[in-house]
Every structure is written in structure tokens, then in C-alpha cells.
Structure 1
Amino acid sequence: MEKVYHFVTLAGIGFYWLLVAGVTLRVVLKRRAVSVSLAWLMVIYILPVLGIACYFLFGELNLGRKRAERAKMMFGPYGDWFSQLDENQAHVTDGIGRHIYRIDSLCNNRLRLPALSGNQLTLQSTPEHILRSMINDIDQAKSHIRMVFYIWHPGGLADDVAQALLRAANRGVEIKLLLDSAGSPRFFRSPWYSMMLNAGIDVVQALQVNPYRIFLRRLDLRQHRKIAVIDDEIAYTGSMNLVDPAYFKQGSGVGQWVDIMVRITGPTVNVLAAIHSWDWEVETGQRDLPLKPSVQLDETAPPHPIQVVPSGPGMPDYLISQVLSIAIHQANESVRITTPYFVPSADLLETLKMTAQRGVKVELVIPHKNDSLMVQWASRAFYTELMLAGVAIYEFYGGLLHTKSVVIDEQFCLVGTVNMDMRSLWLNFEVTLAVDDEAFTQELYQMQSDYMTQSHRVDLTQWSQRGLYSRFLERVFYLFNPLL
């Protein structure tokens, strides 16, 4: 019996060694950033068995076989739909602003999706304004409503939105609601789920969390977009989930979440509807592309082009990251960024430092307290080198600042669902708008200024005097920053 135990022990050690060697080779041979590979190797070696399991769960961009095959087949027909917008009157190339010209070229070449003019934007900055505006538009809906959100959390005004959808369904409005499974568990356990299904609303769980398939699809790949489209005439997108902040994560100790949404009319609405259709087809296999926009531009009015920039499996890699890089590199005077989760890639970090070093005023506004302690400590690991390069860092004390925005030279802006971290820029289904509208940008810039009045600027001298405990946690989580 002792020999049997000895043999089993040696066989187990040999099997584990082969497993570690095999996973190590897979990590090394996978083409990606060196920092990401090194971080995974550290996890695998420091956490025996658990590290290997984590790699299989989170280490590779795995959408699942059926979804991946479907997304690959979809790119052609959706690209054809996008490319026909080049001939649309809303695609104005003459006189297009310098900030958006290169972004339009990039997205046209990689995704076949051009920037479109003739839009009207309204910036909405309070939960009551956002949700009541959405309710009013839903109550006016005549034919169909498309919605995709990462989180739907019942309570407060979110329930009023649900009631508005039920009223619309009773009027015969077709409603397609796509919610991320991991982000919206309370909704799917609530009575609202069955009430909507009984009313004829098509409610689908995106990327459903299933314990039987945990090794077949990456679990932290999430549907992170926030889009609502009513009758293909009005659209909403931005940073806010379908939640009432007064009823959401009240016990997390970070205060209420602070968000914005943009209400849009014009041809960009049809593009956002097409992005929803993409997500719907990836999940269900059902195609429901919207009509192409029909618009007559006022030649005497500024064009105000908007470039919709989506990302996610099946779409061109790193597109949003490239757009962000182009926008920052074009800055001549100022770059102001608000983001709740700041764990930048090496490229983005160097871009911010170089921009500040060439004399551009670079300001970063992030929450003082974060609902993710790992992200909070990892973010602070970048403070010193950013401040030494000339970047001004502000910590917001008015709640969890969840707004994702970038303003360039007070003339051009990016706004959407994208955080400044690897998960948003590399992994999730996201969307951002590149907006060449100076009046709208000024309004967003003023809102950022209001955030800064509720913030404290981090002082480099005082920061250098922080304790050893803080420095230790920063360094530990900094090592894992490519995985956060």
C-alpha cells in the first residue's frame, strides 16, 4: 500500500508539473502585452492549482464557441451596412474638424463605420433627469424599443422605467431588452423579470453565468454597454446603468454613484441601434438591423459629426484604445479625463506622461473611494510617476464618480461606457462617442469643472510621505494591474 501511495504522489507531482509547463508555454506563446504574460505567470506560480484554474477562467479572450462563430460570420453583413453610410449625406468629409478627421479614417478603415453629422445632443447629469427623460420617451414610443445595459437594479425610479416599458408593451410596442447576466442578478430574481416576459417583452440574459460552462467561456467578459433606442429616432448612451443611485449599493461606503447620459437625435441613433442589433444577434442568433438613417443636413449649420466607436469580441481589436490615443496625441492645450477605474496600459500611461511633458495641461479626476479596493490601490500605484511628469490628479469626494469622459482642448470630447482599464479597453463589449461639437464639449467640460470643485488635488510632496503599508499594497496590486 505504501508503494501505491508513493506512486500516486509521484504521478500527481508529475501531472501537475506537466500542467504548469503546458500552461506556461501557452501563456508565453500567446501574442499579447509582455506585462500581461508576466502577471499571469506570477499568478500561476504563486497560487498553485488555483492560479492555473484562474488562467483557464480569465486568462484568454474566449467568447464561447457558438457566439464566437456567430460573431465572426456577422462582421461581413454588418460591415456592409456600416460601409453604405459612406454614401449617406450625413457623412460629411469636407471641412470635418481636425480632431475627428483621423478618428473617422481609422474607424472607416478598420470597421467600415464613418462619422455622421446632423445630430443633436443633450447632456443629462442627474439620475432624476436621466430616468424621467427616458420614461417620457418610452411613453411616446410607437413601434419598438431596443435596450442593452450592464446593470438593471430594481428600486426607485428604475421601477418607474420598468412600468413605462410594461405600458409600452401593452400598447403593442416591440421591446428587446438585453441585460448582462452577471451585472443584473437582482433584476432576474425580481418580479419585474417575469412581469416583463408575461407582457411580451423579449428579455435576454447576455453572457449568462452558468457553473457548468465556466471553463468554456471567460467569466469576466461582460456586456458593459449602456444603450437605449426608441423608435430608431431617439437614443441614450453614457455611463449610467439602469439604476436609481439612491437604491443602489448603499452599503458599499462610497456614496451615491455619479453618472451622465447623452440623449441623441439624428443619424447616430441608427448606428447605436445597429450596435444593439449586433449584441442581440451575438446572443440570440436573430438579426434585426435598423433602417439606414435618412437625413437632410442644413448646410448653413455646423456639421457636429459623431463617431460611434464600439468594441468587443468579433470587432476590431483595440479600436477604442486607438481612438483614445489619437485624441490625446492631438491635444495642443489641455486633456481632462474623468474615470472611476484607472488602471492604464503601459501605452496609455506613456501617452499621458508624454502629453503632459510636451506642455499640455493634463488633468485626471477619479473617485477618492472606489467600490473595488484592488482597483483603488492599483490606481494609486501610478500617482507618483504621473505627477512627476506633470499630470494633475484630483480625487473626487462627492460619491463614486462613474462618469467616463475625455475632453480635448475644450473643443472635442469622448463620452461613453469605457473605463481607463484593461478590461474596458481590451475585453468587454463597450461603446464610446467621439463628439466634434464645441458647444456640447464646453458643457461637458463645465461639468468636469464642477466635479473638480468637489475634489482634492493630490499633492506630490504629501503623497511622498504616505506610509509603508500603503506603498506595499500599491506595489502588490500594481503587479496585477494588467489583469484588473
Structure 2
Amino acid sequence: MESMEAADNLILIFQILYVVTALGTMVVVISENRNPLKTISWVLILLLLPLVGLVIYYFFGEDSRKQRLISHKMYKKLNRRSIGRKELLETLNPPAEHRGLVNLLNRLKGAPLYGGSNVTFYSDGIAKFYALFEELEKAKKHIHIQYYIFLEDEIGRKTRDILVRKAAEGVEVRLIYDDVGSWKAKRRFFKEMQGQGIEVQPFLKVAFKFLTSRVNYRNHRKIVVIDGKVGFVGGMNIADRYIYGVSFGTWRDSHIKIEGKAVAGLQTSFLIDWYSSRKEFLASDAYYPALENKGDNLIQLVTSGPVGPFKDIHLGILQAISTAKECVYIQTPYFVPTDALLLAIQMASMRGVDVRLMLPRHSDTTFVHIASMSYLKDVLDAKVSVFFYEAGFLHSKLMVIDSSLTITGSANMDVRSFEHNFEIDAFIYNEGTCNAAKEIFFRDMEKSSLLSAEEWEKRSRFEKFKESVMRLFSPLL
């Protein structure tokens, strides 16, 4: 009898502790003054999922925007090396319609506008890796390589072999990989590279004793800088899927090679991440060589992450869409927009801008895809043309604005990219590059189906309800 009473008392104590902890967590969530929708989502999880909700919040709910991975002083010191390479805005003369955007990005992030750069697009993995391997083989002084996913597969091993060989030749090789994104690769894979002369650094390494929001805030950037003269940035990681596709078709993605002065922006992004992870300050002239003009593209390399007061890429995209006069073409694998972004897209379409949104018919992430579908009625009602890519998985992050602005990089059109991940996008001001990006979009349209409002309305009630439920949690996805 006494043992039963003792058990009942323990259960009661546990229940009281849980209620106090849950209520305390709710107070913390509310007092952080987050987006009201996100706050409501977390409160619902804590209420509807006892115990599990607390575990989920512990790993994914902490707001780290007030934390710092790098001091403002050190950030400015590193960024100054890149800014020192910039030219006067009046000399570069960006398109008048985008001058406000250029100023915004410069003031937000200190993102310089670089001239004298050439841009080459890659819309498939074969072309991208052929170009990447070719440039890596040419390296004479240093290779800086950073990927969210670096797998130990055919492409991963080939990349490793080139890096090991270049290190043996005396080239400085530094590698940053995201510790969560690259979890399928064994630690031994990276340790062996380190043992062969490559400096390897995981970003926000996760160990059980440190498991907190580090799982939630990941470095999603894909950057390669070779001798400070050639750089790559975009949506493709190091994995076989970009060559061989997935079970339901090809893996369609976008990547660019930059030659010329804008490579300094990629170099700065890498070295800031290297310092924040390794605490090693690298900013000598060896990493910022004098560069001659390689083309007529004007480029801003814009980074964003969960540690600053502003969502820089998000604000840049909002400005670009809000001032569009002719067209807005968007490719994204996931469409979970903020309220402000959704409204900007709707308003652009309703004022007569040709707005086209292209998404994959099938996705690699079920929950995010379901949530994405819940927003399609909103854009269809605003007369946005919605296309489903049918030839495989569309992972491309590409935006074309009017006749002279192209935006591409690592950021998806979703809350996770805008608020939680460390991302980088290239804002490119050039008519020729814009036309090349449009051609890529138009080619993909030939492999896509146009969605009608009538067709979308015919979905079953269950499908609509499922999408509505996932949309409720979309600020957390």
C-alpha cells in the first residue's frame, strides 16, 4: 500500500514539474517577441505534445539571433579586406531601377558592389563538377571549399582525391563541412583528409553534451574559392545525386562560377566562417590578390544567418520583388514564404508584373512539401503562374527580376533559409546574365506543367486539411 502511495506521489511530482517546466518554456517563448505565428506554433506544440514538445523545443526552438559566433569587431576586420577591393558606386553605375536594392544590401551587411566579373551558369551536376574539378586542378596557392553536404560517395571521393593531391603539391587546402548536413559521411572520411595535409573544420560540431540549438542552425552555404581568383557558389553539394538523380528523375539544380573581382566576396564569407569555427584569423593579401576585369557583371555577395538583427537575404528579395516592373521568375524547391514575402509576390502579380513560380512536383522532404502546397491557392488567387517541374526534383534556387537582376545561391524560399540557416546569395546586375537565367527558366518550363486554379481546387478535403495542418507549423519547418 505504501509503495503504491509512493508511486502516486512520484507521478504527481513529475506532473507538477512538467507543468511548471512547460509553462516556464511558454513564458520564455512569448517573452522573446518572435513572429506571432511562430510563437503560437511553439505554444501549440508544447500544449498538444506533452514531454515530446519540450524535447523538440530543446533541440530546435532556442532563438539564437542574439548570440554571436563572431564579434562585431572581428567581423568588420575580416570584412574590411573585401570592402577594400570595392569601387565607387558612381563609377560602377548599377542599373537605376536597382540602385535602391544595392544601397539596402550595402547598408544592411556592408555587402560591396563588385564590378569586373564574369558569371557562368551550370544547370546540371555533370557540367558543374567538370568545371569545378578542372579549376581545382589549376590551383597554385590555396583552395577554400565549404559545403553543407559532403558525402563519402563517388563524387565525394573524387573531390577528396583532388584535394589530397593538391595539398601534396604544397597548395593550402581548407575545408568546412556542416556537421549535421554531412552526417552520412563517417568522421573517419574527414580525419583521413586531415591526416593528408588538408585543414578540415566541421561547422558547429554536434556532440551529445552540446546538443541544443546547434542542430537547428546549420551552415547551408556552398562556396569554393581557388587562389582568390575563381569562385563557385550555388545550390549543389558534394554528392552523387547531382550526377545520377533520384528515383523519380533527374536532380535539377543551379550553380555559378564567378571569375574576377567579386571572388573577394566569396573569400570573405569563407574566411569569416573559418574564423567563427576555427578561431584562426586569415586576411593577408595572399588571399585577396589584385584582380583584373573578367567581365561586365556587377555583383553583391550577400550572407545571412540566425545571429544578426536583420534577415538580409529576405529583405533583399523583398526589395527586388517590390520594385519589379516587368517580370519575376522564381525557382525554389520549397515554398514556405513569410507573410511579407507572400504579400510582395501577390502585389507584384496584381499590379501587372508577370510573376511565375516553379516548384517540384515531387520533393525530397515530405512535410515541407505539404506545407508548400498550402500556399499555392494564395498565389493562384493573385494570378501568379504556378508550374510543377515534372522531370525529377527541382532543387534550383534562381530568381530573375525584370531585365537586369538575377539572384542565385544557397537560400531556398522558406522560413528555414531566411531565419535559421547560414546562407549566401549572389545578386547579379547584368542584362546578359539575366537573359541566360531566363533561358534556363524557359527550358525548365518545357519540362513543367502549368497549374490551374480549377485543377487545384479539385483536391480532396483530406489533402486540403493535411496541408492546412502543416501550414500551421510552417514557421518551424
- Structure 1 residue 224 and structure 2 residue 226: aligned? no
Q: Tell me the equivalent position of 2:76.
A: 76
Tell me, in whole angstroms, the C-alpha distance in 1 between the residues paired with 2:170 and 2:422: 30
Q: What is the CA deviation profile of residues 350-389 of structure 1, one whole-angstrom value per residue up to 9, with x for unaligned ones?
A: 1111111111111000100001110111011011121011
* C-alpha deviation, 1:31, in angstroms: 1.9
- Structure 1 residue 169 and structure 2 residue 176: aligned? no
Distance verdict in 2 for CA 1:457–1:71, change over 3 Å: farther
- Structure 1 residue 112 and structure 2 residue 110: aligned? yes
Tell me, in whole angstroms, the C-alpha distance in 2 between the residues paired with 1:173 and 1:94: 34
Amino acid at match of 1:58: F
Q: Tell me the equivalent position of 2:28.
A: 26
Amino acid at match of 2:199: D
* C-alpha deviation, 1:133, in angstroms: 1.0
Q: Tell me the equivalent position of 2:410.
A: 417
Q: Tell me the equivalent position of 2:317.
A: 324
Contiguous gaps of at least 5 residues in structure 2: none
User: In the alignment, is the contact (CA less than 8 A) between 1:156 and 1:247 conserved in 2?
Assistant: no
Match 1:51 to one of 53, 57, 66: 53
Distance verdict in 2 for CA 1:231–1:426, change over 3 Å: same
Q: State the SS of the aligned residue for 1:145.
A: strand
- Structure 1 residue 399 and structure 2 residue 399: aligned? no
Distance verdict in 2 for CA 1:79–1:140, change over 3 Å: closer
Q: Tell me the equivalent position of 1:197.
A: 194
Tell me, in whole angstroms, the C-alpha distance in 1 between the residues paired with 2:316 and 2:284: 25
Q: Tell me the equivalent position of 1:185.
A: 183
User: In the alignment, is the contact (CA less than 8 A) between 1:222 and 1:429 conserved in 2?
Assistant: yes
TM-score (norm 1): 0.92
- Matched ranges for 1:343-354 at <5 A: 343-354=336-347
User: In the alignment, is the contact (CA less than 8 A) between 1:234 and 1:264 conserved in 2?
Assistant: yes
Deviates more, 1:195-204 or 1:175-184: 195-204
Q: Tell me the equivalent position of 1:387.
A: 380
User: In the alignment, is the contact (CA less than 8 A) between 1:119 and 1:267 conserved in 2?
Assistant: yes
* C-alpha deviation, 1:27, in angstroms: 1.1
Q: State the SS of the aligned residue for 1:117.
A: strand
Distance verdict in 2 for CA 1:27–1:359, change over 3 Å: same
User: In the alignment, is the contact (CA less than 8 A) between 1:176 and 1:202 conserved in 2?
Assistant: yes
Match 1:240 to one of 233, 236, 240: 236
Q: Tell me the equivalent position of 2:367.
A: 374
TM-score (norm 2): 0.94
Q: Tell me the equivalent position of 1:277.
A: 271
Q: What is the CA deviation profile of residues 91-112 of structure 1, one whole-angstrom value per residue up to 9, with x for unaligned ones?
A: 5556321343222212222222
Tell me, in whole angstroms, the C-alpha distance in 2 between the residues paired with 1:194 and 1:267: 34
Cα RMSD of the aligned pairs, angstroms, is 2.2
* C-alpha deviation, 1:164, in angstroms: 1.4
* C-alpha deviation, 1:443, in angstroms: 0.6
Q: Tell me the equivalent position of 2:451.
A: 458
- Matched ranges for 1:145-160 at <5 A: 145-160=143-158
User: In the alignment, is the contact (CA less than 8 A) between 1:405 and 1:416 conserved in 2?
Assistant: yes
Q: Tell me the equivalent position of 1:304.
A: 297
Tell me, in whole angstroms, the C-alpha distance in 2 between the residues paired with 1:465 and 1:223: 39
Q: Tell me the equivalent position of 1:437.
A: 430
User: In the alignment, is the contact (CA less than 8 A) between 2:301 and 2:427 conserved in 1?
Assistant: yes
User: In the alignment, is the contact (CA less than 8 A) between 1:155 and 1:247 conserved in 2?
Assistant: no
Tell me, in whole angstroms, the C-alpha distance in 2 between the residues paired with 1:318 and 1:264: 24
User: In the alignment, is the contact (CA less than 8 A) between 1:131 and 1:161 conserved in 2?
Assistant: no
Q: Tell me the equivalent position of 1:264.
A: 258
How many residues end up aligned between the 2 structures?
A: 473
Amino acid at match of 1:220: N
- Structure 1 residue 289 and structure 2 residue 283: aligned? yes
* C-alpha deviation, 1:21, in angstroms: 1.4
Q: What is the CA deviation profile of residues 414-450 of structure 1, one whole-angstrom value per residue up to 9, with x for unaligned ones?
A: 0100001111011111000000011111111110111
Distance verdict in 2 for CA 1:267–1:94, change over 3 Å: closer
Amino acid at match of 1:48: P
Match 2:122 to one of 114, 121, 124: 124
Tell me, in whole angstroms, the C-alpha distance in 1 between the residues paired with 2:359 and 2:450: 10
Distance verdict in 2 for CA 1:108–1:247, change over 3 Å: closer
* C-alpha deviation, 1:160, in angstroms: 2.4
Deviates more, 1:14-23 or 1:415-424: 14-23
Tell me, in whole angstroms, the C-alpha distance in 2 between the residues paired with 1:24 and 1:199: 49
Tell me, in whole angstroms, the C-alpha distance in 2 between the residues paired with 1:6 and 1:156: 58
Distance verdict in 2 for CA 1:63–1:150, change over 3 Å: farther
User: In the alignment, is the contact (CA less than 8 A) between 1:90 and 1:117 conserved in 2?
Assistant: no
Match 2:138 to one of 119, 140, 158: 140
